[in-house]
Structure 1
């Protein structure tokens, strides 16, 4: 697919000197810009949501981070297992007092793209009415509703 090639070129180009200019060139024909980087990373290349909108008015800028772009943990990086740890999902095996190595549960990595896609679709619909938009998804969010269940299981409150 042509889109996939263009996306691959953007990924490779973003980290080199002329890469940001290449990405900005690709933005001119894009509907959606998807970034899976820590907050502040894209600003170094002039690729924030606002800067992307200057290059391509109406673009949907989608950002996926571990904890969001604001707040005390915004600069922390991680992946699915990190999100599982901070939400308590990893304590399903063992306990806080006697932790056991949990089997690898990749939950957030599967759910976050669905959430991000829903955000993109909503932003595209909004764009049709109002203009450009952005969407954000946090890797830790799908695990948050599980945290109380995890706590209750550890305390023996649920069957």
Structure 2
């Protein structure tokens, strides 16, 4: 069975993380993704990562994480040749993804209105800091800025240590996922109408989508989120020191809490409602802190799992990637990079499909690695017009 986006051509004129990640997700599902690189100004992600030699070669690990299944052509979009080539690519493309400053590409003749006239079926996705409209449309920003201005950082940490930035660029990758979903929706609608459309996606908006329950708590209930991110703090949802390591407990409903207290031999602590658990959070927390100090976090994790109580010790990233649960999944996909790196595992998708799963067919490209073949193909296409 063919993958969902086989036969779909995506022109990827994005940089850094969010936009390239969106195009990467489409590529894992079979889309032919042509990446537009700047010849004398490599994408920031190509220069960032843990390996200095890779950074110097414009193949930084930040780029490798989302560069597979793409072909690269280097184009100077301020030159007539670069503009002609991009116009030729977009004439028959299905998707155009870009994250330039609002209006910047329109000034070069690549705005949605111009392109939709020559290719009415084109799905044109604009990713920007604040969207194409509004008083802040011309401003720029990065993941950490959006975590700050969205209220996310104010809810992260503890009452004593806040605000804190999330360790991962969660807004960037959430934006990428939302962009891939929006493009998929526009392609699906195109099957009905025969026409593409403009997707206007703002990273600021995406950051707010990550906090839906907190937003409704404020706008509907008038409750201000606490610095630790919990509107209704319960002892069953907390972080606890142990004899060795840190344990995170996730007993968030009455059934789980009943199993927790039963397993710990404290049935008298079982409550009849979540509100009772909230009201008794201080006493419950003290009991749990004393109990959890008697064993190591790894022991508690295994014990609580056996009683179907959600819990896990705090692990580093390497430990997380060594979890055997990942082996049959698609979260990590193998790809063979050029020598001396060889075979590695790179991020994939968070889902499997019963028909045809996402996969990596092509390693991340060097700048302009496929430029000659794409230019030759474009030339042949133009000669047939």
TM bin, normalised by shorter chain, reads 0.7 to 0.9
* Contact in 2 for aligned 1:81/1:105 (Cα 8 Å): no
Match of 1:120 among 183, 188, 193: 183
Shift in Å at residue 122 of structure 1?
Answer: 1.2
Q: Which has the higher helix share?
A: 1
Shift in Å at residue 70 of structure 1?
Answer: 0.5
2:283 aligned partner: none
Q: Which runs of 5+ in 2 are unaligned?
A: 1-26, 38-71, 218-223, 234-385
Aligned length, in residue pairs: 156
Using the size of structure 1 for normalisation, the TM-score is 0.80
> Alpha-carbon deviations, 1:14-67, whole Å to 9, x = none?
543122222111101210000112211111111111111123221000111111
* Contact in 1 for aligned 2:147/2:165 (Cα 8 Å): no
Taking the aligned partners of 1:50 and 1:44, their CA distance within structure 2 comes to 12
Is the radius of gyration larger for structure 1 or structure 2? 2
Q: Which runs of 5+ in 1 are unaligned?
A: none
Taking the aligned partners of 1:85 and 1:14, their CA distance within structure 2 comes to 34
Match of 1:8 among 36, 41, 58: 36
Q: Which has the higher contact order (CA 8 A, sep 6+)?
A: 1
> Alpha-carbon deviations, 1:61-91, whole Å to 9, x = none?
0111111110011111112112111102222
Q: Write the mapping of 1:83-122 to structure 2, written as runs, cut at 5 A.
A: 83-91=146-154, 92-93=156-157, 102=165, 104-122=167-185
RMSD: 2.9
Using the size of structure 2 for normalisation, the TM-score is 0.36
Residues 102 and 80 (structure 1 numbering): CA distance in 2 closer, same or farther, change over 3 Å?
Answer: closer
Taking the aligned partners of 1:124 and 1:67, their CA distance within structure 2 comes to 24
Residues 38 and 64 (structure 1 numbering): CA distance in 2 closer, same or farther, change over 3 Å?
Answer: same
